[in-house]
Structure 1
Amino acid sequence: MDEFFQRLRQRKVVQWALAYVAASFGLIQILDLVGQRFDWPAEIVRVFIVAAAVGFFVTLVLAWYHGERGRQRMTTTEVLILTALLAVGGVLAWRFALPTAPSTTLAKSTAVPDGKSIAVLAFADLSPEHDQEYFSDGLSEELINSLGRAGAFKVMGRTSSFQFKNSKDDPRTIGQKLGVGYLVDGSVRKAADRLRIGVALVRTDDGSNVWSDSYDRDLKDIFAVQSEIATAVTRQLQHSLGIAMTQTLVAEPGDGRPPSGNVEAYQALLQGNFHSRRADAADEFKAMEFYERAIALDPRYALAHAQLAISALWYAGTYSNDSAADREAIMAHVRSTVATALELEPDLARAHFALAQLLRIDLRFADAEREFARAAELAPNDAGVIRQFGLMQSERGHLGAALVTIDRAVALDPLSRDALFSRGLLLDLTGRFDEAEAALRKAIEVEPQAATTHSQLAITKIHQGDTAAAIAVAREETDPFWRRWALAMALSAHGDRQQADAELDALIGENGADSPFQIGELYAARKNPDEAFRWLDRALAIKDPGVNQLFTSSLLAAYRDDPRYAAIARKAGLDPANAPALPEGKAAAK
């Protein structure tokens, strides 16, 4: 043994080992710091750590054989030892450092739960008549907003959390699907003017109950009990995670409650939100009626004014068949409503969001982007606001920044169909077709009946060169207009000109007056730029909302160097220099 230690000293093995450990530790710290600044994938640091661990044993071998005599040649024994170490290191890097391919199937999703994250599930309506779902949903949403203001942990977006309404999944399964460490679950029983609210905070790793409580209150105390519940949940999380709360949970502008404290006005707002989220014409009309009622009960209710404006814009742009004069009257009312909301609460995120939507319709894209940015700043946890900000960035041609913003929305609300759809759209535009397909197929799994997802996937399949699959996907589109549009495009790409002509003629006959932009896209896909630009001129003349997508239409990207494209961009208030280039791989689809 004495001889062994003597050799260690002679060959300076300890010195080599200490020097290697110090150098590796310093490099890991530097790499971790640089990675955080540039948002490098975590796998880079993990691979380096595994490599450094293997390198430590390599260093010991080299020191043992070469620490004393640096010019000694490598022996066969050394080569075999080093080869074995490198082989083991490669296996470890493959097994522990490199990520496995993510599944695109929602049911098989196994996201690693983030310990400092939480999801608020939709509270169950236990009222005698089971007619208070709007109220239980509203309470859950307000709790999401309140916890988001705590600033100490990540709060999952509403869309993803509400995917599990009435779900039989256990906490561990939900935690894996959402990637969260904690769940808040509860129930509401509302009878006349009395409330009973039950709340529980649950760990997702083992399903254990961290805390639970029940609250029996009068309806007039709803705002106080909301803050009480949010504070209790936050304190429990602070205790469990050992973290500090960075912001107050008291009422803030836009937190949902009317300035007068009128509970009836608040309930009208919740009913409006409930119907608006159901996304059909009848419900949207009901939503506007409830927002109007909330305003009548409290004229200074800024959030009700903002929500009314957003709902009216959506209704006019999606469902209304009103005349041009009627639409102008609606838009005038919306402008007045937005102005009132901003006057009442200048820092209300939803009011800035509504103004941004108005500016987008007016083709004032730079101003719209500024307002979307302000809304995102005021509501940093609102995935819907952040997604629209990202879309606005893309509509101005800033695809790199837009994808970063959309990825942020997906991180906040990973099971949001809208966020996944937007990500698929931008990935397709940048030529990352396989990733685009994965995002779009996941969006379909999340919300199979949503319009436009299949039609966008059909575009991606064409770009991948699989026109037969594009036709099959187009036939699955749930919206009649977008199904016909996607079929006209896919059939033409497949070479079936007769059927494609029939679909295009039917589309022009039924929707030529109100959807000229989409018809222009189809002519562009047919390599008929003269007709394409003729229809785009029509779209610009009537302020077709599709004009917003001039820079995000992959079907028009082939003509970005055409002078007519630049002219239309300028008329629409866009800088032609920002028009995205055609990604490599789309040239074949031109």
Structure 2
Amino acid sequence: MSFFGELKRRNVFRVAGLYVVVSWVIVQVAATVEEAIALPAWFDAVVLSFLVLVFPIVLIFAWAFELTPEGIQRTSAVDKEESITTQTASKLDIALLISFLMFAGALLAPRFLPERQTDTGDTAAADTALQVDEQLVSDATPPVKDASIAVLPFADLSPDGDQEYFADGISEELLNVLAQVDGMKVAGRTSSFAFKGRNEDLREIGQVLNVAHILEGSVRSQGDKVRVTAQLIQVSDGFHLWSQTYDRDLSDIFAVQDDIAQQILVALTDELMADAAPAIAPAARTDISAFNLFLQARDLIASRDASGMQRALELLNRAIEIDPTYAPAYASRAKAYTLLSDRPGSYGSIPAQEALTLARADVDKALALDPKLADGFAIQGLINADIGRPDFAVSSLRRALELNPNSLDARNWLALALAFNGRLRDVADQLKTLVDIDPLYPPGVTNTILYNYRIGDFETAKRVGERYIRANPGEFESIRIRSGLLMLDNQPAESILLQETLPLDKLDARTSGELRSSYYDLGIDAEYKGPHKLQPLFEPYGMESEGDLAGALNKARKAVADFPEYYAAHTVLIRALSQAEADEELAAHFAAAFDGSLETYATKLRPSVSVNPPPYGQLALALRAVGNTAEYEDAMQRWRFTIDMFRAGGDVSPGRDRDDAAYWAIVGDDEKSIDFLESAFSKGHPLDVFVFRDRVYKDLQLHPRFAALRRANLERVNEERAILNYPPLDESYYTGIEPETTPTD
């Protein structure tokens, strides 16, 4: 008999078929048990591996042994005349047929079964919540482009672990150059470097960063030799498209970096079907130790953590001492000075005047050393915005992006500069593009949330915030973003409760100011005990909220006297003067600081107030009070134009309703003014105390609709205060008039 025939006679084929089907059932059971009782994720893989290993043993057993009436015996010991393999074959055929029918039924049944109907009640609510969350995940992530890539930080595998700066340099060089390849999307540095040292599945990283490919690698150096390994991975299936190892001498680390980066880039552009690999501009040369200090400082600045940026300043000072001609170190130090100042939007406590002086000197030095330094132009743009030169700011920031299309700071600051013209839809679109490039870049995430809220697209704001929070669960910045979303979603008390969970030792001036501002919204003045005072330019607002108008005015006057070139301070002073009804002084300040020119006033104050128009209303009241009718009418005209410009640009926020309410109150149309105040209140968040104490509405205090709005707002505030276990306020908080009491006998 042939070998094939002998296999058939000994039922080897039948045993194999039955084993495969039974194994499939066992694997399905293993997968179910794993999920049901929370076994490790590798449990079903171990079961499958075991079954595969046992398979050849089963086949050998079927060949070598036979089932007989006397039990299992070796096949060679059984006489063929006495063999019962035919009867065994029939039983195996029946078992195999039943197994195949069960197998086919399990596969086909779901196709014919009706879809499960979900009952109403808790189950329906849970399913709905799940669907919403899945939709958030889906909508937050744009479609992945084939020509898209993230460059992860290369691992330092050197024996001494002292080549991290070189590994980061290779990664950064590739990221910046790939960003200049036409048609290629490159994930931003903040997001890519966020996975440094985190041993996560590349497919999950690709999903978070929304890219189709990942470039990773390693650096190993010893003595004067260095080995760099790079590999290009397809995210969808983890397939390695390309890999290469480079061995080089380490006599010139920057030349090695340029050479390897260029070779990798050529391979990448060929693999990703780009037109051609651009030539890499040689990296700026410096002392190796200075370069290492610079790289460490740059990472700390990118974190936006105040203590980290303070450490970055120390590192940059040392780097500049080692090499006074290294331009990137000066630009990074200028950025650190600015972000550590007490200007609005920054994170530290260095007086704004001092920080600006130091930053301007460093920027000038950086661009003198390297006229094509993108970071130098980026920080120059931010400084120009601060000192009332918006057109120069936009020009500098556009130049920074020409030199480095992947400059996240430049793109973020350019969006903010464009917001000064009221085109908030355009700004929101730019910021959405920014967070698509770098979904874990905190300033971009925060600003995208804010501007989408202002144009009425809170769903996009939530999706962007949720994507960041999912990638960084439990982190300080994630808690801040969550509390901000709660505040925008008209849940101020819940936002405060979350803010209060932030560790005090990590609070910077900005975060402390946000918490203090949240308290003020609910009439909670003295209870805040955080480690930081309000930023100086916000102190007058806090003092005014607490009823100290004279103190607020003195603080504002001092801010302008100390720093006349910093126009954010002028905005604070103008408000304080208006509230104090110091109209003569306000008009005189307008003539002295702005040459009595509304054009200068509009230009200088535009960048200092972010998305809010310049303070035309306060100026108009003062000009009318001192009898300057022509200038008053001009100011009101410009204010009307600016409000309409913001609305045309997509701004539907309560802030614009309040602008309109104040405008119509000054014009004298009380009903229209209250219409807009009611509109602002209807959008959910309680109006702050300044609305009801503002001199603009002095003549409306006894108006029935205004009084009703005040009571409704007070009720809303007290609802939130109750959540925080604070006693209710009465109307004297808004009016300053104690309620009448009825004497008792």
TM-score (norm. length: structure 1): 0.66
Q: 1:157 is aligned with what amino acid?
A: G
- What is the aligned partner in structure 2 of residue 517 from structure 1? 538
Of stretches 327-336 and 223-232 in structure 1, the one that deviates more from structure 2 is 327-336
Partner secondary structure for residue 525 of structure 2: helix
| Aligned mates of 1:385, 1:164 — CA distance in 2 | 23
Equivalent in 194, 213, 224 of residue 163 of structure 1:
194
Measured after TM superposition, the shift of residue 216 of structure 1 is 2.4
| Aligned mates of 2:458, 2:140 — CA distance in 1 | 21
User: Per the alignment, do residues 565 and 222 of structure 1 end up closer, same or farther by CA in structure 2, a change over 3 Å counting?
Assistant: farther
| Aligned mates of 2:515, 2:307 — CA distance in 1 | 29
- What is the aligned partner in structure 2 of residue 210 from structure 1? 241
8 Å contact kept, 1:112–1:176:
no
- What is the aligned partner in structure 2 of residue 223 from structure 1? 254
Equivalent in 130, 137, 151 of residue 120 of structure 1:
151
Aligned residues: 466
Q: How big is each residue's C-alpha offset from its partner over 1:416-451, in whole Å with a ceiling of 9 and x where there is no partner?
A: 222111100111222333432333343444456776
Query: Superposition pairs for residues 403-552 of structure 1, below 5 Å?
Result: 403-447=428-472, 458=483, 461-477=486-502, 479=507, 481=509, 485-491=513-519, 493=521, 497=523, 500-503=524-527, 511=533, 514-517=535-538, 520=541, 542=563, 543=566, 551-552=609-610
8 Å contact kept, 1:451–1:482:
no
Query: Superposition pairs for residues 45-56 of structure 1, below 5 Å?
Result: none
User: Per the alignment, do residues 141 and 408 of structure 1 end up closer, same or farther by CA in structure 2, a change over 3 Å counting?
Assistant: same
Equivalent in 165, 177, 186 of residue 134 of structure 1:
165
User: Per the alignment, do residues 294 and 585 of structure 1 end up closer, same or farther by CA in structure 2, a change over 3 Å counting?
Assistant: closer
User: Per the alignment, do residues 482 and 241 of structure 1 end up closer, same or farther by CA in structure 2, a change over 3 Å counting?
Assistant: closer
Measured after TM superposition, the shift of residue 121 of structure 1 is 0.8
User: Per the alignment, do residues 334 and 203 of structure 1 end up closer, same or farther by CA in structure 2, a change over 3 Å counting?
Assistant: same
| Aligned mates of 1:241, 1:167 — CA distance in 2 | 26
Measured after TM superposition, the shift of residue 242 of structure 1 is 3.3
8 Å contact kept, 2:496–2:515:
yes
Query: Superposition pairs for residues 20-419 of structure 1, below 5 Å?
Result: 103=134, 112-245=143-276, 248-251=278-281, 256-258=283-285, 262-277=287-302, 279-280=304-305, 283-317=308-342, 331-395=356-420, 397-419=422-444
| Aligned mates of 2:487, 2:290 — CA distance in 1 | 50
| Aligned mates of 1:220, 1:266 — CA distance in 2 | 16
Query: Superposition pairs for residues 559-570 of structure 1, below 5 Å?
Result: 562-564=617-619
| Aligned mates of 1:154, 1:319 — CA distance in 2 | 31
User: Per the alignment, do residues 549 and 242 of structure 1 end up closer, same or farther by CA in structure 2, a change over 3 Å counting?
Assistant: closer
8 Å contact kept, 1:124–1:133:
yes
8 Å contact kept, 1:306–1:341:
yes
| Aligned mates of 1:469, 1:379 — CA distance in 2 | 41
Partner secondary structure for residue 198 of structure 2: coil
User: Per the alignment, do residues 449 and 345 of structure 1 end up closer, same or farther by CA in structure 2, a change over 3 Å counting?
Assistant: farther
| Aligned mates of 1:279, 1:394 — CA distance in 2 | 22
Partner secondary structure for residue 213 of structure 1: strand
Partner secondary structure for residue 501 of structure 1: coil
8 Å contact kept, 1:428–1:460:
no
Q: 2:369 is aligned with what amino acid?
A: L
| Aligned mates of 2:410, 2:621 — CA distance in 1 | 30
Partner secondary structure for residue 502 of structure 1: coil
8 Å contact kept, 1:120–1:161:
yes
| Aligned mates of 1:383, 1:267 — CA distance in 2 | 22
| Aligned mates of 2:512, 2:315 — CA distance in 1 | 35
8 Å contact kept, 1:488–1:522:
no
| Aligned mates of 1:480, 1:270 — CA distance in 2 | 24
Q: 2:536 is aligned with what amino acid?
A: S
Q: 1:140 is aligned with what amino acid?
A: S
Measured after TM superposition, the shift of residue 368 of structure 1 is 2.1
Name structure 1 gaps, 5 residues minimum.
1-99
Measured after TM superposition, the shift of residue 115 of structure 1 is 0.9
Q: 1:427 is aligned with what amino acid?
A: N
Structure 1 residue 583 corresponds to structure 2 residue 652 = yes
Q: 1:562 is aligned with what amino acid?
A: G
TM-score (norm. length: structure 2): 0.54
| Aligned mates of 2:621, 2:373 — CA distance in 1 | 37
| Aligned mates of 1:118, 1:450 — CA distance in 2 | 26
Measured after TM superposition, the shift of residue 124 of structure 1 is 1.3
- What is the aligned partner in structure 1 of residue 90 from structure 2? none
- What is the aligned partner in structure 2 of residue 24 from structure 1? none
- What is the aligned partner in structure 2 of residue 78 from structure 1? none
Q: CA RMSD in A?
A: 4.2
User: Per the alignment, do residues 350 and 116 of structure 1 end up closer, same or farther by CA in structure 2, a change over 3 Å counting?
Assistant: same
Measured after TM superposition, the shift of residue 413 of structure 1 is 1.0
Measured after TM superposition, the shift of residue 229 of structure 1 is 3.2
User: Per the alignment, do residues 201 and 367 of structure 1 end up closer, same or farther by CA in structure 2, a change over 3 Å counting?
Assistant: same
| Aligned mates of 1:351, 1:321 — CA distance in 2 | 23
Name structure 2 gaps, 5 residues minimum.
1-130, 572-605, 624-631, 633-637, 656-679, 688-745
Of stretches 450-459 and 354-363 in structure 1, the one that deviates more from structure 2 is 450-459
- What is the aligned partner in structure 2 of residue 51 from structure 1? none
Q: Percent of aligned pairs with the same residue?
A: 27
| Aligned mates of 2:175, 2:549 — CA distance in 1 | 49
8 Å contact kept, 2:385–2:393:
yes
8 Å contact kept, 2:439–2:468:
no
